[in-house]
Amino acid sequence: MNIRSCLILYLLIPVYWVNGDELRVQAEASLRKGVAFFHSINAHGGYVYNVTPDLSRRWGEGPKDANTVEVQPPGTPAVGQSFLRVYEATGDQKALAAAKDAAYALIRGQNTHGGWDHTINFSKLDSDTVSFDDNQTQSAASFLMALDQEIDDERVTAGTKRAIEMMLKTQLENGGWPHKYPPQGNYHDYATFNDGGINDCIRVMIEAHRYYDDEAIEKSLRKAARFLMISQLPPPQPGWAQQYNEFLQPVWARTFEPPSVCPSVTIKNIDTLMDLYLVFGSDTLLEPIPDSLRWLEEIRMENGNWARFVEIGTNKALYYDRGRIRVDSLAELHPERSTGYAYETNLEARLESGRERYEKAIELGRRGLLEDENPELSEARVTKRLKTLADLMKDLIQSQEESGAWITRNDRFKKKMPEGERWNGQYEVMDRISSAVFNKNVSVICEYIELSKRLDHILK
């Protein structure tokens, strides 16, 4: 490095770095307090979405008692991943112990098939359902596999093996995954992209393929890749539906989810095809993408958004209330549907990101795209990112309670209605301790520590 480069780098380095990076010391102390507090509010090693500061109320998808934890993010697997990242960033053994407790909770709740429903009730461990909805079973499998790479623990290894075997067993013959398993004789049996179901399953199998040398895992991924190819609908609507029957026909799921072409699913599938391209390097996996990108551009609505459901044959937006009641616009839907379900979304940023990624794949090839997405960070880029994170870090440390908790004050959120009663615009306002906030804050702090260590290495 020449003198001019050294001077530029020195000027970019924050003052606190020259003084020994005091902020990193504070960051590690904040993580220790945060991990200790959050671990103290576990139930059988697991976690729900929210608790009140006095711990008198616990809830996730509805109220939860002290024997019930959430599997769905941001619950137990996501919190376990946060603990694991703290251990990887700092070497904190207490964070590793907390991660192991979360893993043991998941393993205790692993059902006879080797998967999970959306919650675990430790007073009644009798669930027989594997749910792939909302990254439930998938997040648990991902966490166990990640922890299995870090520690030598027979329980974790056995639980991980059962999870992988479950992923292989539940895959449909056509290569997709159902909404739930075992078969229930209804829409839960369909190959389901809704809420990223199949996409998250593929992500799990890509991780398994990276971690373990197993021919069955590779075969599963190839089946999944084929399913993505054959489930794309034909021109002039070359997108994907939310769910398919055994004849690869788009079909009804819930009574407000009609057979249709789904733009948000289509964008996710473009990204998943790219992920599979990075695994296998087959140009065939890129072939469905350009037509899908063009179709997505064509069907943008006048208000700048995209409809969740696009009518097959017409490209018209579809709006359904419960009971398969079709209405003409978003304004005519019941509030439960119009505000609780994304019938219209702005997909512009995701569409642009998908297009850029595809164009890079064409220009750079598989190896070039891998290098582009996993770059060696330069000194200047590390320092610039650290400056951004430093401001966030200071706010996080300042907002943390002495106990180690991050409390979201006067938080406003949708009220969970009693069984059988539809939500009609009711909200609650209260202080709460959120697993999602904890996970987000840990991610910021860990990134800061990881990059600061990298800069230390650069400057040596």
Share of the chain above pLDDT 90, in %: 86
| Average confidence score pLDDT of the chain | 94
Nearest to 266 by CA among 333, 358, 180: 358
Q: Residue 6 pLDDT > 60, yes or no?
A: no
Mean pLDDT, residues 68-92 taken together: 98
pLDDT tier at 163, thresholds 50, 70, 90:
very high
Confidence at residue 417, expressed as pLDDT on a 0 to 100 scale: 83
| 3-class state of residue 364 by DSSP | helix
Q: Residue 21 pLDDT > 80, yes or no?
A: no
pLDDT tens across 26-76, in order? 999 999 999 999 999 999 999 999 999 999 999 998 899 999 999 999 999
The residue type of 36 is A
Q: Residue 92 pLDDT > 90, yes or no?
A: yes
By residue count, the chain amounts to 460
pLDDT tier at 457, thresholds 50, 70, 90:
confident
Q: Which residue has the higher pLDDT, 244 or 380?
A: 244
Confidence at residue 415, expressed as pLDDT on a 0 to 100 scale: 87
CB 224 within 8 Å of CB 276: yes
- pTM of the complete model: 0.94
Buried b (16+ CB within 10 A) or exposed e, 41-57: ebbbbbbbbbbebeeee
Q: Residue 273 pLDDT > 60, yes or no?
A: yes
Q: Residue 18 pLDDT > 60, yes or no?
A: no
Q: Two tokens at 93?
A: 């053994």
Residues with Cβ within 8 Å of residue 423, at least 6 apart in sequence = 335, 336, 340, 414, 415, 417
Mean pLDDT, residues 330-349 taken together: 90
Confidence at residue 376, expressed as pLDDT on a 0 to 100 scale: 85
